[in-house]
Amino acid sequence: MNDGENHGFEGYLVNRARQRQAAQQPASTRAHDINRVARFDGATPDTYWLSAAWSHDGSQVAAGGRNPSGSHGMLEIWDGRTGHHEGHSTRHLRHDLDGQVVSMSWAPDNARLATIERDVKSSLPVLNVRSQAEGKRPIGVPYGAAIEQVAWSPDGSQLALSARGSGTTLLVDPASGQLRRTLQGMSGPVAWEPEGHRIAGPDGAGVAIFDAVTGERERTISGQDYKASAVSWATHGKVLAVSDGEHIRVLDADTGKRLWNLPWVTSEGDRSDDPSVHYIGWLDSGRYLVEFRKHGAYSRTDASTRIGTVALWDITTRSLFWFTFHETVARVQSPPAEFLAGPQGGLQTLIFFDHHPPQVWEITGDLPGYQP
The answer to whether 311 and 291 are in contact (CB under 8 A) is yes
| Residue 179 belongs to some domain of the structure | no
- The pLDDT score that the predictor gives to residue 32 is 59
Q: Work out the angle at residue 301's Cα, subtended by the Cα atoms of residues 296 and 307, and round it to the nearest 5 degrees.
A: 20
| Residue 26 belongs to some domain of the structure | yes
Element (H, E) at 16: helix 16-23
| Residue 59 belongs to some domain of the structure | no
- The pLDDT score that the predictor gives to residue 158 is 96
Residue 293 lies in domain: 9-39+265-372
3-class state of residue 29 by DSSP: helix
- The pLDDT score that the predictor gives to residue 179 is 94
| Residue 336 belongs to some domain of the structure | yes
User: Is residue 61 exposed (0-12), middle (13-18) or buried (19+ Cβ within 10 Å)?
Assistant: buried
115-140 burial, b at 16+ Cβ within 10 Å, e below that, comes to: bbbbeeeeeebbbbbbbbeeebeebe
> How far apart are alpha carbons 338 and 205 in whole angstroms?
25
Judge if the upstream peptide bond of residue 189 is cis by omega within 30 degrees of 0.
Answer: yes
Measuring CA to CA, which residue among 303, 313, 296, 299 is closest to residue 363?
313
| Residue 328 belongs to some domain of the structure | yes
Write out the DSSP string of 138-162. Answer: EE---TT----EEEE-TTSS-EEEE
201 bridge partner residues: 208
DSSP-H helix ranges across 144-257: none
Q: Which residues of the chain have pLDDT under 50?
A: 1-31
Number of domain units in the chain:
1
Measuring CA to CA, which residue among 53, 42, 37 is closest to residue 85?
42
Query: Per residue in 228-280, pLDDT tens?
Result: 999 999 988 899 999 998 899 999 999 999 999 998 877 777 888 888 999 99
> How far apart are alpha carbons 234 and 263 in whole angstroms?
19
Query: What is the reported pTM?
Result: 0.89
The one-character DSSP state at 271 is: B
| Residue 105 belongs to some domain of the structure | no
Query: Per residue in 9-33, pLDDT tens?
Result: 344 333 333 344 344 433 333 445 7
Q: Work out the angle at residue 32's Cα, subtended by the Cα atoms of residues 29 and 36, and round it to the nearest 5 degrees.
A: 165
Task: Kindly list the distances between the CA atom of residue 348 and the CA atoms of 84, 134, 245, 351, in Å, as whole numbers in the listed order.
Answer: 17, 31, 27, 10
> How far apart are alpha carbons 359 and 5 in whole angstroms?
15
The answer to whether 172 and 178 are in contact (CB under 8 A) is yes
> How far apart are alpha carbons 125 and 292 in whole angstroms?
26
| Residue 285 belongs to some domain of the structure | yes
> How far apart are alpha carbons 22 and 24 in whole angstroms?
5
> How far apart are alpha carbons 3 and 23 in whole angstroms?
23
- The pLDDT score that the predictor gives to residue 24 is 41
> How far apart are alpha carbons 290 and 363 in whole angstroms?
10
| Residue 203 belongs to some domain of the structure | no
